[in-house]
Structure 1
Amino acid sequence: MKASRLIGFLAAAALVVAGCGNDDEPDAAPPTATDFPGAEPPGTGPPHTESPEPDSTTPHVTASPPSTPVPGPVEPTDVEELATGLDAPWSIAFLPDGDALVSQRDAGTVVHVSQDGEQTEVGEVPGVDGDVEGGLLGIAFDPESPETLYAYATMGSENQVVRTTYTDGEFGEFETVLDGIPASSRHNGGRIVFGPDGMLYVATGDAGDGSNSPDLDTLAGKILRVTPDGDIPGDNPLGDSPIYSYGHRNVQGLAFDDDAQLWASEFGDSTADELNLIEPGGDYGWPDVEGIAENDEYIDPELEWPVADASPSGLAYVAQTLFMASLRGSVLWQIPLSDGEVGDPEEFIGDYGRLRDAAVAPDGSLWVLTNNTDGRRDPNQGDDRILRITVE
């Protein structure tokens, strides 16, 4: 079993005993006006269960020292509020000129956001069924065909990957690339990304049924790998199957590092959220194990967090660092990397509430989506937002 690193907190034991599921659930406490500089106080929402604060002084455990020094933390040199007023935004996809498209989960619409923050609604992805955690989720442009946009969306009883052209500010016809992914009101996964190999990687959830995750006859609870046309690549690890890895509960973040290694952020249940380094054909253990289990039958995560500190969603890589957006944790975590080894995670930014996605723009800046209008907490004036961050 490969080396793993544990971020241990004394509070984690209390969280395990408390034991409610980590289903992209409401935060431990509603936001206050000071959470959002210059914002109005939020309305009074339903009561939330308080979660204990983690003890950040507890040392982490390292299975083996990194072969080369892991870089230290980077600093945000400038945090700019680029855009406001978005409706449950979920994913960012950049155009070559530095503008971006943003998906809006519940409405099933896509918004064009310029580098100056100007917003224009492009249109709706037809057939999207927004239900709790379902709807219009991840979007991505094909690097080899920059006018072709892919989208992961809930369509009734299943999730699908569809594609269309985007030219002159308009969508063309939509076509289905991949279907048959089980859908539910929760645990739909939804992140899509093109790899350096030109293949499309698709994160799915277990659709609320943990028995789906180890079952190789269903696409739920997996990371899938297909060609841009939705075909199965001949070098996939499990033969004539789109499954690239399995045993996942609810992966919502995918990112490749400089060494073409695939990283995934994953919702745990009541014990631990995970950052996984994905091995082709690997079994990540859900529902039999959660977090670092040290069980030779499964692949351990590289890092784990108490669920109140993460509930991880989007993942981005820049400056030898992974940036992980967290919902319940309401922070952007930074995790330095070196030769596949992870350093100690640190908070990069906070104070903006739930964070759904992080994406690297063509100019190297980091765009981050807040996610306070998705029904999980009371939004503040101006929600939801795009933050543009210069990374030093």
Structure 2
Amino acid sequence: MATVHHWTGLEAKALRLALRLSVRAFAEHLGVGVRTVSKWEKLQALTDPRPDTQSILDTALVRADTAAHLRFETFLSEAGRPRTETADRRLTPAGPLAWEYESWADDLDRVVVALSQQDFTFADSLLSRWLSRFKNLELDEKGLYLFARSTALLGDLRRYQGTLVGPLSAQHFYVGARAVFTQLGIPRRVAQLDLSLTVVMEMSGRLETAARAYETLAVDDRLSPRDRARARLWVGTALSKDGRHDYATRVMTAATRDFEDLAEPDDWSVAHQKLALARRGAGDLTAALRLLDVACTTGTGRSPMQRVQLITAQAHILRTDPATRDEGLRLLDEASRIAAQSDLGHQLRSIEAIRRTCEGAFKPLHHRAGSSEWQTYDRRNSAKSSGGPGN
């Protein structure tokens, strides 16, 4: 948020407008005379409030709510930004002011935290604030970098909500961000967008193509060691969804060792969760339960998405055994409730897919629950609903 180091009538007027007060009400709010506020309104940047009034204005700004702060920065930005003339002789803003770059970067840090907590409404409001204010053509390199980061984060938001392809989707925003980072010559960011686009590819069901893309990215020097390890893990998840559980296990085990070497406990925990699902798909329920226990007892944080993923994995494994099927279905209901509350659209669809396989897996009652025939039937119907980066 903007900080006013020295108030003039310009900033005072912006604060009044942000608080949505009349001149008289604003004067009463500050405890100053109406004529004083009128003077600020008339002279704006040509007049300075007295030192004691500067402190009063500081206090009024600090006590304003978040929405008022956003309006204050917008009004101040529009009042102070130089303007250029377009071809149709309209005056348009020339680009961000110096203090806006810092405010924009701070907001992006807040977006990252909001997305990690699945606070999509707040994240969307912060991103829309900047993406609706500036267009590519009016930005310098610093502005373009922030614009591309904002666009990529908006792609993450859409991906978490399950809007994968089409206009205003995760894929749409990732492609746009990738083009800007390519223009700026930032290969690490381009590679990260390639990884995100591959996740969308996998979540859309293009499993074999996604697995090949992950394999390429797993050895791409443009990515950090952690991102390369994640790509290797996701090779395994795509293969497991495609029914190639033994090969997937080998690939994911290698990724697990990478996370251990990198001292990434959360990724290490998630890798065990994905390994559990691969072993479950291969029919090795004992190993699946052992790996799932590791996933449940490690890791440092549990966001709503992480909780949904872990509970869904538990349900997916427990419902395999007729003796624990009811507990698995109960956990599916719990995961569905959390996913709905957190607006996790893709997770909701995955849970429903698993629920449908539950209904189908137990229809051939003449099959013995532990027989190879039943296991083959069950794996065939549930492989593509097992967990991956978006699940």
TM-score by length of 2: 0.25
Higher helix share: 2
Ranked by relative contact order (alpha carbons within 8 Å, sequence separation 6 or more), the top structure is 1
